[in-house]
């Protein structure tokens, strides 16, 4: 942070939000100009929400979860079951998912946050894979197992069918709101505590702070974002695949965050957009080898741009303005 005051940071955030909002709301149109298609915009926005929440945990506190699919997938199933068996209205379905994720993340956070680093990553991975296995076995009657969960009717919002652009705009508005929330969290005293966990949690403890409670909150907030994304994904599809709970979904959000720029909020969203664009558009051009190319991109970013795309932007700006560390820099760590 090179910000001078909290107020100045907030003004800069508002400027970013102001630029961000039209870019997101107009995505279905400009995405087509660069080879995408309308429906892809919805997927991009949903993954952006997921990546944004992931950054609250990984970017702020430094805790790398390899099990966020647990929240994305569970929320998707709860939403799907609600839509199928209870009501086609999405608000009660999303509310039910929210409550389930609240409870699930409280429990998983309590169990996993006692460890850090690789142990935390493995614990989260293990719990998520247990849920994945459960969806395929004991809960098969509910989840439909490998066949997935299909809905007979289209989800609705106050009687309006959730089709095409309707889904997009619901998701896009939620994204803008959630981005604002994440920005405010980052600048708040609470956010400062989270960022200090990443830096030195022992010092924080010996400054009189209950570090565990802050970690738990960050974990739960981040799970909420993942759950929200999971719900929206079902409303978009409308279908739930076991893949939503699979570890590869967790892995995907990790990759998005890392290539975008961990801790910057904007970076992981760019990473999410890039990944979705790559998987759905670029893939068609390069064919079978697209995963190999993606892997190379990932390696190149990690090796040459440890701060992700956001670092590239910062370097570019510093070069053009000739002002290293100009006050506009929002990214955290050059990591050099």
Partner 1 sequence: MALLEVNGVSKSFGGLNALTDVNLSVEQGTVHAIIGPNGAGKSTLLNCMIGLIQADKGTVQFDGKSLHNVKPYDIIQRGIARVFQTPQIFGELTLLENVAIAALAYRDGRFKLNMVEPPAKTEPVYDEAEHFLEDVGLKEQIYAEARHLSRGDKRRLELAICLAGHPRLMLLDEPTAGMSRHDTNRTVDLLKKLAGRGAAKVVIEHDMHVVFSLADRVSVLHQGMIIADGKPEDVRGDPKVNEAYLGGAHE
Binding segment (CB under 8 A) for partner 1, from list 21-29, 204-212, 234-242, 270-278? 204-212
Smaller CB separation from partner 1, 62 or 155? 62
Q: Give the alpha-carbon dihedral of 33, 37, 38, 40, to 10 degrees.
A: -120
Tell me: does residue 333 bind partner 1 (CB under 8 A).
Answer: yes
Token pair for residue 254?
């990790």
Could you tell me where the beta strands, DSSP code E, fall in the chain?
Answer: 149-150, 156-157, 160-161, 239-240
Q: Which of 141, 159, 189, 322 is the binder for partner 1 (CB under 8 A)?
A: 189
Q: Report residue 52 CA to chain centroid gap.
A: 4
Contact (CB, 8 A) for 48 and 175 = yes
| Positive or negative torsion for Cα 293, 295, 296, 297 | positive
CB of 335 to partner 1, least distance (A): 10
Q: Site for partner 1 (CB under 8 A): which residue of 15, 29, 119, 206?
A: 206
With beta carbons less than 8 A apart as the criterion, state whether 178 and 228 touch: yes
Transcribe 170-200 into DSSP letters.
Answer: HHHHHHHHHHHHHHHHHHSHHHHHHHHHHHH
**Interface with partner 1, residue 336, by CB under 8 A:** no
Within 3-22, which residues bind partner 1 (CB under 8 A)? 4-7, 10
311 in contact with partner 1 (CB under 8 A): no
CB-wise, 7 or 160, nearer to partner 1? 7
Q: In this structure, are residues 265 and 52 in contact, taking their beta carbons and an 8 Å threshold?
A: yes
Residue 71: C-alpha distances to residues 63, 154, 234 (Å):
16, 23, 13
Q: Per rule CB under 8 A, is residue 185 in the interface with partner 1? A: yes
216: closest CA among 224, 227, 206? 224
Query: Closest separation between CB of residue 165 and partner 1, Å?
Result: 32
Measured distance CA(190)–CA(160) in Å, rounded: 38
Stretch that binds partner 1, among 27-35, 71-79, 153-161, 203-211 (CB under 8 A): 203-211
Q: Of 43, 68, 44, 51, which is closest to residue 235 (Cα–Cα)?
A: 43
**Binding segment for partner 1 among 105-113, 191-199, 238-246, 269-277 (CB under 8 A)?**
191-199
Q: Between residues 32 and 326, which has the closer beta carbon with respect to partner 1?
A: 326
Give me the 207-226 binding string for partner 1, x by CB under 8 A, dash otherwise.
xxxxx-xx--x---------
The answer to whether 192 contacts partner 1 (rule: CB under 8 A) is yes
Q: Which residue number, 7 or 300, has a Cβ lying nearer to partner 1? A: 7
Structure tokens at 205: 């403890």
> Nearest approach, Cβ of 11 to partner 1 (angstroms)?
10
Among 205, 289, 321, 326, binds partner 1 (CB under 8 A): 205
**Which CB atom, from 215 or from 246, has the smaller least distance to partner 1?**
215
The CB-of-184 to partner 1 minimum distance in angstroms stands at 6
Short-list 265, 199, 192, 194, CA closest to 6: 192
Q: Please, which of residues 137-156 interact with partner 1 by CB under 8 A? A: none
Return residues touching partner 1 (CB under 8 A).
1-2, 4-7, 10, 184-185, 188-193, 195-196, 198-200, 202-211, 213-214, 217, 332-333
């Amino acid at each position: 942070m090179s910000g001078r005051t909290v107020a100045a940071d907030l003004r800069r955030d508002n400027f970013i939000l102001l630029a961000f909002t039209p870019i997101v709301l107009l995505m279905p149109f400009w995405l087509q100009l660069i080879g995408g298609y309308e429906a892809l915009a919805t997927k991009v926005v949903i993954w952006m929400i997921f990546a944004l929440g992931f950054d609250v945990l990984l970017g702020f506190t430094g805790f790398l979860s390899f099990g966020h699919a647990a929240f994305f997938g569970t929320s998707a199933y709860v939403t799907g079951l609600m839509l199928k068996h209870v009501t086609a209205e999405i608000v009660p379905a999303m509310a039910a998912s929210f409550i389930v994720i609240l409870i699930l993340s409280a429990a998983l956070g309590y169990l996993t946050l006692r460890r850090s680093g690789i142990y935390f990553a493995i614990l989260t991975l293990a719990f998520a894979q247990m849920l994945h296995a459960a969806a395929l076995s004991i809960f098969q009657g509910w989840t439909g197992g490998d066949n997935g969960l299909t809905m007979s009717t289209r989800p609705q919002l106050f009687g309006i069918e959730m089709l095409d652009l309707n889904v997009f705009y619901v998701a896009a508005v939620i994204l803008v709101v959630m981005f604002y929330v994440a920005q405010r969290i980052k600048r708040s005293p609470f956010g400062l505590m989270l960022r200090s966990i990443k830096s030195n949690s022992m010092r924080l403890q010996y400054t009189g702070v209950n570090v565990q409670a802050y970690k738990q909150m960050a974990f739960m907030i981040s799970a909420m974002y993942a759950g929200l994304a999971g719900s929206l994904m079902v409303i978009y599809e409308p279908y739930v695949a076991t893949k939503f709970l699979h570890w590869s979904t967790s892995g995907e959000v990790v990759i998005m965050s890392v290539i975008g720029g961990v801790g910057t909020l904007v970076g992981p969203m760019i990473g999410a957009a890039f990944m979705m664009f790559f998987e759905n558009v670029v893939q068609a051009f390069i064919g079978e080898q697209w995963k190999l190319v993606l892997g190379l991109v990932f390696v190149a970013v990690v090796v040459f741009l440890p701060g992700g795309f956001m670092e590239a932007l910062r370097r570019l700006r510093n070069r053009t303005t000739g002002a290293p560390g100009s006050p506009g820099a929002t990214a955290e760590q050059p990591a050099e």
